[in-house]
Amino acid sequence: MRILRIGAALLAVGVVAACSDTPTAVDDAAAPQFAFHPASATSAPLYALAAPTGARNAVMQLYTIDPTSGAATLVGSTGEVGLRGIAADPSSGDLYSSYGSYLATSKRGIVRIDASTGAVTAIGGSMAFVSLAFDSGGDLYGVRNPFSVGDYQSGFARIFKIDVTTGNAVEVAKVAHQCNTGWQIAFNSADVLYFKDWNYRIWRDVLGTVTYLGRISPPFYASLSWDFDSNDNLYYAGHPVINDEWATFDLAAFTATKIGNTGIRIRGLSFLDVITVDIDIKPGSDPNSINTKNKGVIPVAILGSANFDVSDVDVTTLTFGPGGATPAHKAGGHVEDVNDDGFDDLVSHYPTQDAGLSSGDTEACVDGATTGGMTIRGCDAVRIVR
């Protein structure tokens, strides 16, 4: 397995170093290291696009995976063949995939997958992507299938930024390679994009400077699916044609550890740790001045949009500020359109002195969950006046 890190701001097409057995001379101390934290139970769902067998034309199904064991739970069938890769949008909780197999289907473009049923809605686009990943801001990136357009023969893996409303894509980076395929991308918590291919060499690109890390031994390299959790633990599944192994890779210790077996053949993984929501503290006020000695309440609106329905919020889970203030009113909040955009917003009031805000704070956040158990978080600026 080879990993390339591509700078967080993918604004221009750039060429990353070729696959080679010869390390590139760089200052390795400049590269951040990521320690592996032992897996623990988490409410953040980990989705997998998979099938019971590794057959190329198998109908893809949606599963959730327990990262601590690899145990898979079926959500539902997509009813489609040839889907490759899966990515969870942190701004909406929606799941996306692509018709990425040029042998299993003639369809192209991206699709949205219902996280509760596995049902697919076609969006559009003309490309076949084998891996997808969202950054924390909700921008979607994909690696194009190398064989469908000759990228493998040309010597480059090409990474695109994809419009989730149309499926249209713009090339933002390309990776020079001399290895086989199995290309995958994943963002870590710092919004740094990593790239790997089938070969088990591992590289890291630090602000454009490529660092060769070394190699890991089979069977761990044979993977078509991987993702970071919110603690930057890196999980990956065995190659769907070869095995159903479930493992972790520690980028600091440079070791791979098998956890178990999934019982399915995975072609895409994606954590959905937090749905980022927009909020408005003291709607209609700018700046959002707060007197911490005030014994009243602070109104905070969770803003609805085309991508987020506030009726999905479980008001019993809402907290505000460092102190974790809970809604002052029994109902937890009321619905109104505070910004006149045509979408319902959820307005809750939190006791000022319970919010735990203090001098120097410039931001305050609402935390909670949806009725489906997904974590939500939204932040807005504040000005502490006393």
| Sequence spans of domains, the chain | 2-271, 275-384
The band of 24, judged by pLDDT with boundaries at 50, 70 and 90, is: very low
CB 116 within 8 A of CB 300: no
Domain 2-271 CATH (choose: 2.60.40, 2.120.10, 3.30.450, 3.40.50): 2.120.10
- Identify the weakest region by mean pLDDT among 75-79, 135-139, 262-266: 135-139
pLDDT of residue 179: 55
pLDDT at 118 over 70: yes
pLDDT at 364 over 90: yes
- Identify the weakest region by mean pLDDT among 11-15, 145-149, 229-233, 272-276: 11-15
Q: How far apart are CA 181 and CA 164, in angstroms?
A: 25
Alpha helices in the chain (DSSP H): 146-149, 151-154
pLDDT of residue 217: 59
pLDDT at 38 over 60: no
Residue 80 tokens read as 């489609």
pLDDT at 107 over 60: yes
pLDDT of residue 172: 85
Percent of the chain whose predicted confidence (pLDDT) is above 70: 78
pLDDT at 29 over 60: no
Can you spell out the DSSP letters for 115-180? TTT--EEEEE-S--EEEEEE-TTS-EEEEEPHHHHTHHHHTEEEEEEE-TTT--EEEEEEEE--S-
pLDDT in tens, 39-69: 444 457 899 999 998 888 999 999 999 999 9
pLDDT in tens, 195-217: 887 665 566 553 345 556 666 65
Torsion of CA 250, 251, 256, 262, to 10 degrees: 70
Burial per residue of 292-322, b for 16 or more beta-carbon CB atoms within 10 angstroms, e otherwise: beeeebbbbbbbbbebbebebbebebbbbbe
pLDDT in tens, 76-85: 999 999 999 9
Higher pLDDT, 377 or 157: 377
- Identify the weakest region by mean pLDDT among 3-12, 53-62, 297-306, 336-345: 3-12
The band of 251, judged by pLDDT with boundaries at 50, 70 and 90, is: confident
DSSP β-bridge partners for residue 279: 302
pLDDT of residue 55: 87
The band of 272, judged by pLDDT with boundaries at 50, 70 and 90, is: confident
Percent of the chain whose predicted confidence (pLDDT) is above 90: 49
pLDDT of residue 76: 97
Average pLDDT of the residues in 225-241: 88
Average pLDDT, the chain: 81
Average pLDDT of the residues in 264-269: 94
If one looks up domain 275-384 in CATH, what number appears? 2.60.40
Can you spell out the DSSP letters for 311-351? GGEEEEEEEETTTTB--SSTT--EEE-TT-SSS-EEEEEEE
pLDDT of residue 142: 93
pLDDT of residue 6: 42
pLDDT at 75 over 70: yes
Question: pTM of the prediction?
Answer: 0.73
